[in-house]
Amino acid sequence: MAHNYIKDDLQVEEQTGRVGFQIIITLLGGTLLICALIASFTFDSPDTGDILAGIATVLLGGPLVWVALKDLAQGHYHMNELVALAVVAAFAAGWYIEAGFIAFFMIIAVLIENRTALGAQASIESLIRITPTKAYKLDATGNEIEADARELQPGDVVRVRPGDNIPADGRVKRGNSTVNQAPITGESVPVEKEEGDEVFGGTINVTGAMDIEVTKAGEDTTLGRVKDLILEAERTKIPIMRMIDRYAAWYTPTVLMLVAIVWFFTSQTADVDDAARRAIAMLVIACPCPLILATPTAMVAALSAAARLGVLIKSVIDLEAARNLTAMVFDKTGTLTTGQLEVTRLSPAEGVEGADLLRAAATAEQSSRHPVARAIASVARKARLKLEEPTEFEEVAGKGVRAVVGGKTLLVGRAVWISEYIDDDAVRTAVQTAQQSPEANGLSTLFVLQDGKLMGWVGLADNTRPEAANAIDQLRELGLKRLIIVTGDRESVAQRVAAQMHTEYKSEVLPHQKLEMVDELKSRGHRVAVIGDGVNDAPALAAGDISIAMGAAGSDVAIHSANIALMNNNLNRIPFLVNLSRQTSNVVKQNMLIGGVTIGVFFALFAAGMGGHQAPILAAVLHVVSSMAVVFNSARLVRAGEDIEQAEHAEAAKAAPNQPEPPRPTQAPPADDGAGAPAMA
Ligand SMILES: Nc1ncnc2c1ncn2[C@@H]1O[C@H](COP(=O)(O)OP(=O)(O)OP(=O)(O)O)[C@@H](O)[C@H]1O
Ligand SMILES: [Zn+2]
């Protein structure tokens, strides 16, 4: 904040309270000033006017001078000194009305600056303050008791009805519904929720009633994390902001010196009053508010626009850097594709039953969170297979899993890795043949090995995200030179996806090779963003100049491992980010120009005697106007991404009327139909 009337670290509410008090003082001072003006015109004796203006100046200028003195006493220079000095000088010269007006305009500037800054912060706060305070907890007998949402504990079960805010993060225990997750994910299309699905505190339950088992409550929820991150991001600084902080100490003395020089010469040639007016006007116009506000107001506005679309930028440094990216490395599974794989083929080896192959694969994969593991688990559930608990389990990143069940060792994973464990040449050839077979073409394949014996393979398919190709086209139009898909999956799958996206690709890459690729791009001078879902790509994410985690809602790891957390899975947020970064940079440049030109040009003009008798008040008005121009210019950024939002709203509205299921009453868990078992080959 430009003038430090208000401590940054106060809570918003307290700040708002302070601002309210200041408005009253300002209004009072302003009224007195106007009375003083009228009095000085209507009464012959100027005394009444002067007394009123004097009181107004003390009311308005008092705090200003007080803060300046306090700053001086603490040994740091701020811009307050310049204005304070101007007010004191005008007061000392007996120009009470001028002194009053300078103080008045300064305070108006401060109020609007603070209001707007608070406004931006408050918009984020409002995004955050949606955390509900009430919850309906179910006790052991199934009775609802009203409870404080902040006092919920993991394990509690709460009931939410249509229209309720969901009080905490949790998992649906009974019932189903659609949920508007926009407060967290920035996506207004409601999401279907059924038993076992994850829900987030602060999102809005739309159609049905659900019982939810709390997994995280209070500050631990996703909403709590998001709030912390946004507030932290606002405190971060890009280098130019640090530079301004550093030069601020030199600024005030330099201005004072220049003013002293002008004063020295003009007081000898012109009359002293004129010299004093010039000096006062120069002090006022030199106040660097517009320059100091130029960057932070733009950054905060951009951060809040991004947050609204579910793009959590954790530091303004990354917001600033995004505009200069030249390359992007995309993970495939879960990033460009939905990551919701489907088992489309079971291909048991001779003498093995399809069901046994599936059971073996599912048993080994039980504890894995990899998308392929989930796909297999889901089919096994639908086929109602009973699974044994492995006695040993190990996941080899980017390769597969190893489990020991009933004394037998199961290996499930990619062909190359599995082949390492096959002694029999004929079997190894069989794996290769299967891998190259037309049935496996375009499918992700997992081979299952039991005690060195091949049980067969499982084929999985994944769909590309509908908006992916378009998002990548936009990135290309934005001038990004290299767009590369890097995947651990096999060639034929990677090639198919890359063909749809018109990008380069690299397949069958191990996690550490993803990292090496990023390093290589960087060594060639590229500024690289890595976009991943956090599964087997954490090292690559860490290596990027900027890392972007997809679908971060619900995954603390993803939120924390990347510079930018995308709370939804919508890839169009990535070109939006690059655009936003460029817009923000432009706004900052415009602001600097507005501030620099106003201060530089008018400083010189006032030195040359512009404005005559009105110079001090004119300077105060110009200072307010230029500060406002900067603040409002920045505020334009808050609207960035509105087109995306509107398009999504329209889509949500279109989807709403023909929703497949009417609101359903709670309780009865939907029966599992057991259908959907995959085709047996
Ligand atoms: N838990 C697992 N069970 C079985 N196979 C696995 C497992 N984890 C990895 N694999 C095998 O290793 C390969 C590479 O995995 P990795 O996670 O690196 O990439 P991916 O999921 O295929 O795609 P992307 O790299 O685009 O995310 C997978 O295609 C799969 O064949
Ligand atoms: Zn100022």
Residue-level pLDDT at 56: 85
Atom of ligand 1 nearest to the CA of 494: 26
Q: Under DSSP, is residue 580 helix (H, G, I), strand (E, B) or coil?
A: helix
**Cα–Cα distance measured from residue 391 to residue 166, given in angstroms and rounded to the nearest whole number:** 39
More confident residue, 577 or 7: 577
pLDDT bucket at 158, cuts 50 / 70 / 90: very high
Q: Is residue 44 part of a domain?
A: yes
Q: Is residue 226 part of a domain?
A: no
> Is residue 212 predicted with pLDDT exceeding 60?
yes
End-to-end CA, the chain: 68
Establish whether residue 535 lines the binding site of ligand 1, counting it when its CB lies within 6 angstroms of any ligand atom: yes
Among 225, 168, 537, which residue's Cα sits nearest to residue 550? 537
Relative to the alpha carbon of 411, which ligand is closest? 1
The secondary element (H helix, E strand) that includes residue 649 is helix 642-655
pLDDT above 70 coverage of the chain, percent: 88
513 and 595 together in one domain: no
Of 333, 366, 507, 531, the one to substitute when testing ligand 1's pocket (max ligand atoms within 8 A of C-beta) is: 333
289-298, 320-329, 390-399, 650-659: segment of lowest average pLDDT: 650-659
pLDDT bucket at 493, cuts 50 / 70 / 90: very high
Q: Is residue 422 part of a domain?
A: yes
pLDDT bucket at 35, cuts 50 / 70 / 90: confident
Establish whether residue 402 lines the binding site of ligand 1, counting it when its CB lies within 6 angstroms of any ligand atom: no
> Is residue 377 predicted with pLDDT exceeding 90?
yes
324 and 278 together in one domain: no
pLDDT above 90 coverage of the chain, percent: 43
**Cα–Cα distance measured from residue 409 to residue 164, given in angstroms and rounded to the nearest whole number:** 49
Domain that holds residue 494: 311-330+465-567
State the distance from the centre of ligand 1 to the C-alpha of 399, rounded, in angstroms.
6
Establish whether residue 398 lines the binding site of ligand 1, counting it when its CB lies within 6 angstroms of any ligand atom: yes
CA atoms within 13 A on the CB side of 442: 11
100 and 239 together in one domain: yes
Going by DSSP bridges, is the β-strand pair 453-461/444-450 parallel, antiparallel, or unpaired? Answer: antiparallel
Range 500-512 average pLDDT: 92
Residue-level pLDDT at 678: 43
pLDDT bucket at 6, cuts 50 / 70 / 90: very low
Establish whether residue 365 lines the binding site of ligand 1, counting it when its CB lies within 6 angstroms of any ligand atom: yes
State the distance from the centre of ligand 1 to the C-alpha of 534, rounded, in angstroms.
12
Q: Is residue 193 part of a domain?
A: yes
The string of DSSP letters for 323-348 reads GG--EEEEEIIIIIB-S--EEEEEEE
Which is catalytic among the residues 164, 318, 331, 462? 331
What are the CA-CA distances from residue 280 to residues 40, 50, 159 (Å)?
A: 22, 19, 66
Establish whether residue 514 lines the binding site of ligand 1, counting it when its CB lies within 6 angstroms of any ligand atom: no
Rank 239-253, 536-550, 647-661 by mean pLDDT and report only the highest: 536-550
Range 249-255 average pLDDT: 84
> At 380, which CATH number?
3.40.1110.10
Q: Is residue 677 part of a domain?
A: no
438 and 386 together in one domain: yes
252 and 116 together in one domain: yes
Establish whether residue 511 lines the binding site of ligand 1, counting it when its CB lies within 6 angstroms of any ligand atom: yes
Average pLDDT, the chain: 85
State the distance from the centre of ligand 2 to the C-alpha of 286, rounded, in angstroms.
8
> Is residue 267 predicted with pLDDT exceeding 80?
yes
Residue whose CA lies nearest to ligand 1 atom number 7? 400
Three-state secondary structure along 489-544?
Answer: CCHHHHHHHHHHHCCEEECCCCHHHHHHHHHHHHHCCCCEEEEECCCCCHHHHHHC
Atom of ligand 1 nearest to the CA of 369: 1
> Is residue 120 predicted with pLDDT exceeding 70?
no
Number of H-type helices and E-type strands within the chain: 22, 22
Residue-level pLDDT at 127: 59
Structural domains in the chain (count): 4
377 and 454 together in one domain: yes
Which residue has 């199961």 as its token pair? Answer: 410
Residue type for position 484:
I
331 noted as active-site residue? yes
Residue-level pLDDT at 651: 81
> Final residue of a domain: which of 461, 482, 516?
461
Atom of ligand 1 nearest to the CA of 364: 3
What are the CA-CA distances from residue 612 to residues 33, 522, 619 (Å)?
A: 21, 59, 11
> At 181, which CATH number?
2.70.150.10
> Is residue 673 predicted with pLDDT exceeding 80?
no
355 and 456 together in one domain: yes
244 and 288 together in one domain: yes
> Is residue 663 predicted with pLDDT exceeding 80?
no
Atom of ligand 1 nearest to the CA of 514: 25
Q: Is residue 322 part of a domain?
A: yes
**Cα–Cα distance measured from residue 581 to residue 373, given in angstroms and rounded to the nearest whole number:** 38
362 and 290 together in one domain: no
pLDDT bucket at 190, cuts 50 / 70 / 90: confident
417 and 444 together in one domain: yes
Q: Is residue 675 part of a domain?
A: no
**Cα–Cα distance measured from residue 419 to residue 427, given in angstroms and rounded to the nearest whole number:** 9
Which residue has 């198919």 as its token pair? Answer: 496
State the distance from the centre of ligand 2 to the C-alpha of 242, rounded, in angstroms.
19
Digit-coded pLDDT (tens) for 61-97: 888 888 888 877 776 666 678 888 888 888 888 888 8
| Burial class of 302 by CB neighbour count within 10 A (0 to 12, 13 to 18, 19+) | buried
Digit-coded pLDDT (tens) for 522-573: 999 999 999 998 777 888 888 999 999 988 877 777 777 789 999 999 999 9
Residue-level pLDDT at 558: 72
Establish whether residue 539 lines the binding site of ligand 1, counting it when its CB lies within 6 angstroms of any ligand atom: no
> Is residue 302 predicted with pLDDT exceeding 60?
yes
> Is residue 292 predicted with pLDDT exceeding 50?
yes
State the distance from the centre of ligand 1 to the C-alpha of 357, rounded, in angstroms.
19
> Is residue 42 predicted with pLDDT exceeding 80?
no
Q: Taking the C-alpha atoms of 50, 56, 59 and 64 in order, what is their torsion angle to the nearest 10 degrees?
A: -90
> At 558, which CATH number?
3.40.50.1000
204 and 74 together in one domain: no
> Final residue of a domain: which of 154, 186, 216?
216
Relative to the alpha carbon of 400, which ligand is closest? 1
pLDDT bucket at 121, cuts 50 / 70 / 90: low
Three-point CA angle 249, 252, 253, nearest 5°? 90
Q: What are phi and psi of 207, to 5 degrees?
A: -100, -50
Residue-level pLDDT at 308: 87
Establish whether residue 368 lines the binding site of ligand 1, counting it when its CB lies within 6 angstroms of any ligand atom: yes
pLDDT bucket at 99, cuts 50 / 70 / 90: confident
Establish whether residue 598 lines the binding site of ligand 1, counting it when its CB lies within 6 angstroms of any ligand atom: no
Relative to the alpha carbon of 532, which ligand is closest? 1
10 and 28 together in one domain: yes
Range 596-625 average pLDDT: 91
Residue type for position 619:
A
Residue-level pLDDT at 535: 76
pLDDT bucket at 297, cuts 50 / 70 / 90: confident
State the distance from the centre of ligand 2 to the C-alpha of 469, rounded, in angstroms.
48
The secondary element (H helix, E strand) that includes residue 446 is strand 444-450
Which two structure tokens, joined as six digits, stand for 609?
A: 């005697």
Residue whose CA lies nearest to ligand 1 atom number 21? 333
Among 208, 88, 126, which residue's Cα sits nearest to residue 160? 208
Q: Is residue 572 part of a domain?
A: no
> Final residue of a domain: which of 638, 654, 676?
638
Which two structure tokens, joined as six digits, stand for 291?
A: 């320059």
CA 7 to chain centre: 25
The model's pTM is 0.84
Range 8-12 average pLDDT: 39
Residue-level pLDDT at 119: 53
**The 204-205 sheet, strands edge to edge:** 191-193, 177-180, 204-205
